Every structure is written in C-alpha cells, then in structure tokens.
Amino acid sequence: MAQNRFHSGNGPSQRQLRVGELIRRTLSDVLARADVHDPDLNRHSITVGEVKTSPDLKVATAYVLPLGGRDAEEALAALRRNAPELRHLIAKAMTLKYAPQLRFVLDETFDRMDDTRRMFADERVRRDVEHDEDDED
C-alpha cells in the first residue's frame, strides 16, 4: 500500500509542528500589521488558527477565518491572490532553507465547536449524559 506523501500514518513530526507554529505566528503578525498592500485583504481581521506543513516543509496549509466569519470567501480569495507576497514576507522573517508554498483553507473548527455546544444544550442529550454519569456512580 502506497503512503500519502502528506501523511506518514504516524502524524506530523516535531519539526513539522514547530515550523507550522512558527509560520502561523509569522503569518498572523504579517496580517495584523497589514504588510501586504492590498486594501481587500487589509479590510479583514483574519485569525490563523493552525498551519500544517508537508513532511518536506515545502507546502504549508494555513487554516484561517476572518473575524466573525463574515465575508470568508472574499477573505480567502484575497489571501490566495496575495500568497506570493505573503510567502516572500514569511521567508524574510524566518530562516528556512526554502520558503513554503502557502495554501489557504477556511478553518471550520469553530463551526464544529458551535455544533457540539448546540448538541450538548439539547434537552435529550443532556438527559442521556446525566443518565450515563449516574450509572457510573
């Protein structure tokens, strides 16, 4: 069975995690300072929730969400349009052998957390959870 080149089955290495977090912080700083001269991009306050890197560190996928989730597709388009300049700014701030190609994806973890909160707020689910806790005693 061939292995996927982006996932070895063992999860990301410490190096991938460290580089991903460094890229996340650097990208967040670049966006917060509005270093890119694009009014469409600078109009958005964008949260960079996570950055995952490929095993060779040549591709970095940033999971992003504009504040409040408004105009998410517009913000994503602006990020993608400015990816080469963002890549250059990140490379300048970091000491990597290669500047990774940047990919941007909407971060949907906030939506999943909201769905989970709604589910646990449901009376039937609360009753089941409380019932299960009573059985453990």
pLDDT value of position 97 = 77
Do residue 11 and residue 21 come from a single domain?
yes
Whether the pTM exceeds 0.85: the reply is: no
Task: Count structural domains, the chain.
Answer: 2
In angstroms, rounded to a whole number, what is the distance separating the alpha carbons of residues 53 and 128? 40
pLDDT along the chain (137 residues), means of 10: 49 93 96 94 94 95 91 95 96 86 89 55 69 62
CATH number at residue 27: 3.30.300.20
Whole-Å CA distances, 114 to 64, 108, 124: 17, 10, 18
Residue 23 lies in domain: 1-106
Q: Is the dihedral of CA 92, 53, 32, 34 positive or negative?
A: positive
Q: Torsion over CA of 91, 96, 101 and 106, rounded to 10 degrees?
A: -80
One domain for residues 19 and 85:
yes
Co-location of 6 and 53 in the same domain: yes
> 38 and 99, same structural domain?
yes
**What six digits make up the tokens of 57?**
């560190």
User: Is there a single domain that holds both residue 6 and residue 67?
Assistant: yes
Containing 16, the helix (H) or strand (E) segment is helix 14-32
| Same domain (yes/no): 114, 74 | no
Which pLDDT belongs to residue 4? 44
Residues 88 and 112 grouped into a single domain: no
Tell me what pLDDT residue 122 has.
Answer: 63
